[in-house]
Structure 1
Amino acid sequence: MLATAGTFLGTAASYCCCMACRCAQKNIFARSARAGYCVLFTLAMVLAWVMRNYAKPLIEKIPWVMSHAAADDSKWFGQQGAYRISLGSFIFFALMSLIMTNIKYKSDWRNKYLQHGGWGIKFALWLLFLIIPFFIPGGLQWYGWVARFGSGLFLIVQMMILLDATGLLNDLWFSKSEENPKYMYLLLGVTAGCYIGTVAMAAVGFWIFKPSGGGSCTLNILLIVWSLLLTVGFSLMSVHPGATNGSLFPASVMSAYCMYLCLAALESEPRGECNGLENKAESASAMFFAMMLTLGAVIYSAFRAGSNTSTFFTTSEDGDEPTEKPLLEGAEAGTSAGLDGEDAKAPEIQKASRDDKEGRAMDEFTPVTYSYSFFHAVFALASMYMAMLMTSWGTGDGSALIDVSWASVWVKMGSQVVTALLYCWTLVAPIVFPDRDFS
């Protein structure tokens, strides 16, 4: 009787899941492929967190993995679980990136059946790729080294997107201020807000990461002072007469971002006497909140990176005019683009594309608005970054905390230095190469 009831409930649950997937495909994922892939990545990150904390009972039952186990260390089991989920997610998105290579027009069958359709098959393949790494014998320390390299690339992508977005916003608001002075007030307000926020973050850093007890926290003070010096340097360089494309708005945004990276690095410091957040971070609620912040940051970076390929390359039919669209083009036109990056059309064109078959057929031969291959490549790199966050950059330290280790501290500070160098290069490059167009 109980077995029959269990079978019935299992069948009903499977039917409900299938109907939910079919409904999601028709109503959500078909309209916005990015939302679907963000859901898959979110599920992968949640699974990686679960495996990071509770993988030991499962991995102990896998003999080809246990033969290389590092004694009875729960950190090793958690690291292996997170690595394997991350590897499966990386394989899925890397394969999608290869399949979606060189899609230029919506008439390409891959646009309809692979990028925006076939969600049932893609979900099954995604599950399969998450399971396959658990059949790989031995440890996956080699993947940890590969993931470190991929995570570094992801951080560089994130920095370049921020640089490009601040430049576009500065040009957009400044050009609109000639017609409407409110944009100039907005530009000045955001600039002042970023500078005030930078100083406030520095003050909070001195308060939270100050010496306590018998510990010496000189390193923390030096890192905060260094970040403040970057703020001064950015500001002076941006207003220098030689910096033809300099502006205080990008300088203020980059100053705030660099100070944020400094505080994020100090937050990852494992020394309890110099980290005022360590004891609070050990609570379950604080750990859950930290994971949600990490998840949101990674998804946001990958989501925006997929739509802003103009930062890295431009493509065209004849090699002269770019077909990739800037991140803010929809905002500049005074329209609102869809979640999937489709062009915001005039109302009459939208209506024709919905109601008229001929309009839909013509729409299929318009160029795609972002690089599908690059979008999936960013998610593949984000999958590697996910593994580094869950395992404290492969050190296995701090099993109760997320992203707490000296490796994480120096990776974030290294990211700050690279960000500063990239921004300084945007100011110096037009002077070093005056014959090139950096607009």
Structure 2
Amino acid sequence: MGALLSVFTVGQLACCCSSAACNLAFCGLQSCFSSIVSRIMYAMMLFLSTLLSWIMMSPWVTEKLKEVPFCKSGSGYSAMCIQAVGYLSTYRILFAQTIFFLMFSLIMLNVKSSKDGRAAIQNGFWGPKFLVLIGLMVGAFFIPEADTFGQVWMYAGLVGGFLFILIQLILIIDFAHSWAESWVEKMEQTESRWWYAGLVFFTLLHYIAAITGYVFLYLYYTTENGCGLQKFFISTNLIVCFILSALSILPDVQEAQPRSGLLQSSLITLYTMYLTWSAMNNSADNCKPSIFQHGNDKTFDSMSLVGLGIWFACVLYSSIRTSSNSQVGKITMSERILMKDTSSGNSDGETGGIVTSNDNEEDGVTYSWSFFHFMFALATLYVMMTLTNWYKPDLKSGNLNQNEGSMWIKIISSWLCCLLYIWTLIAPIILPDRDFS
């Protein structure tokens, strides 16, 4: 436990300096908006908590904790030290992070502009906020296990992870739309075919990667006379991806939804292939290869690395996204207000700070503050499940086992993702009186 407290002490020292460091780093730019700085700071909180959770799960920390006199209890650990490492430490650290974001989601409900008194809390006081987060983490380690915390929080992680998977799809679609529009606009302005060639190249790259992935899924996750459920998952998702790709280039869809295209469909196809692979990786039968496992580590494999990569990209993208007219803005019901560079520049809410950032939210917020924190709470639950490979905790042995529930969560998510994207294609045709521009 001494090792654990020392980690928190070092983290506290670093966090107290983080606000000034972030402001100096991002406000060195000519156009520095407090809305972007704040989102990046919250993302930094999440990344640091993820890093700490990963470190606490490592075998190295477990071995070091054995050497602490407080933890020696006969031939084994004391009960408190067992809860300070392994999957329980990840559950407790990210439980505190989730509570932190949910608390801020409630505090920031119905904020309309930075003139609201709560803006100072949202955009400043980073030192106290880090201290509150650290205090929640320390307090989480005193929650009694009582054969319930791990089990209940695992189910909460399944639900939160499921919802964040859907948010990931929205962010991926938004990124693909922005990507395609940006390159098409540059192609029209410069009359250079290189931009068009780039769109074609990445579209083909995504489809080739997705088809290759499906082929490997057939090779490694199915057998000639068995694994019928796996064959059903792969075949169904492959057919659905073909359908949504064909829909995106139909003349009626192109006329009603000019933003649609194969680049977006290729990304959705690749993401669906990943969800299919991830779902089958959590199956409890013998239709799963062991070639992707790292030694005897049962809680972190290649699938987890890919999942963390996608999670990292989506969290970073949601933190720096500035367009208020994006589909994410529509879904979160954010005000459609253009970003503007105010020369006057108001303080970002940090009392006594050296550097200030421009306040671009005096007339209205550029994103929903409450929904942003709620999304980060879901992202925390998603990364918690990813670090533990979506496994089910065995409270008696202290190990993690295969979780059939996570398999169905992911495969259903893949179906909902495809249906949601198909709906974005056909909705303007079915509901012609509504504005989907």
Q: How high is the TM-score relative to the length of structure 1?
A: 0.72
Report the Cα offset of residue 127 of structure 1: 1.3
Matched residue, 2:132: 125
Matched residue, 1:202: 214
1:22/1:149 Cα in 2 relative to 1: closer, same or farther (>3 Å)? closer
Q: Is the 8 A contact 1:237 1:427 kept in 2?
A: yes
Report the Cα offset of residue 294 of structure 1: 3.9
Is 1:431–2:429 an aligned residue pair? yes
1:414/1:364 Cα in 2 relative to 1: closer, same or farther (>3 Å)? closer
Equivalent position amino acid for 1:41 in 2: L
Task: Report Cα offsets for 1:47-75 as digits up to 9, x if no partner.
Answer: 4445557599699545xxx9xxxxxxx89
Matched residue, 2:105: 97
Q: Is the 8 A contact 2:332 2:371 kept in 1?
A: no
Matched residue, 1:372: 369
Q: Is the 8 A contact 2:17 2:127 kept in 1?
A: no
How do 1:98-177 and structure 2 match up within 5 A? 98-111=106-119, 113-137=120-144, 138=146, 139-140=148-149, 141-177=151-187
1:293/1:118 Cα in 2 relative to 1: closer, same or farther (>3 Å)? farther
Is 1:411–2:409 an aligned residue pair? yes
Matched residue, 2:279: 265
Task: Report Cα offsets for 1:268-309 as digits up to 9, x if no partner.
Answer: 3444x5323456333459937665544443333233345464
Structure 2 portions without partners, runs of 5+: 27-36, 347-353
1:397/1:410 Cα in 2 relative to 1: closer, same or farther (>3 Å)? farther
Equivalent position amino acid for 1:163 in 2: I
Structure 2: distance between partners of 1:408 and 1:392: 9
Structure 2: distance between partners of 1:310 and 1:363: 16
Of 355, 364, 380, which aligns to 1:383? 380
Matched residue, 1:247: 261
Equivalent position amino acid for 2:196 in 1: M
Is 1:282–2:292 an aligned residue pair? no
Is 1:26–2:20 an aligned residue pair? yes
Structure 1: distance between partners of 2:264 and 2:292: 36
Is 1:231–2:236 an aligned residue pair? no
Structure 2: distance between partners of 1:84 and 1:379: 17
Percent of residue pairs bearing the same amino acid type: 27
Equivalent position amino acid for 1:34 in 2: R
Q: Is the 8 A contact 2:334 2:365 kept in 1?
A: no
Matched residue, 1:219: 229
Q: Secondary structure of 2:293's partner?
A: helix
Report the Cα offset of residue 430 of structure 1: 1.5
Structure 1: distance between partners of 2:359 and 2:137: 39
Q: Secondary structure of 1:396's partner?
A: strand
Q: Is the 8 A contact 1:239 1:247 kept in 2?
A: yes
Q: Is the 8 A contact 1:270 1:278 kept in 2?
A: no
Q: Secondary structure of 1:281's partner?
A: coil
Count of aligned pairs: 384
1:224/1:302 Cα in 2 relative to 1: closer, same or farther (>3 Å)? same
Q: Is the 8 A contact 2:214 2:234 kept in 1?
A: yes
Matched residue, 2:197: 185
Structure 1 portions without partners, runs of 5+: 1-9, 67-73, 317-321, 326-342
Report the Cα offset of residue 94 of structure 1: 1.0
Q: Is the 8 A contact 1:238 1:427 kept in 2?
A: yes
1:362/1:397 Cα in 2 relative to 1: closer, same or farther (>3 Å)? closer
Q: Which moved more, 1:246-255 or 1:172-181?
A: 172-181
Matched residue, 1:88: 96
Structure 2: distance between partners of 1:428 and 1:125: 46
Matched residue, 2:31: none
Matched residue, 2:33: none
Report the Cα offset of residue 35 of structure 1: 3.6
Of 28, 37, 40, which aligns to 2:42? 37
1:119/1:402 Cα in 2 relative to 1: closer, same or farther (>3 Å)? farther
Equivalent position amino acid for 1:412 in 2: K
Structure 1: distance between partners of 2:400 and 2:208: 29
Give the CA RMSD over aligned residues.
Answer: 4.2
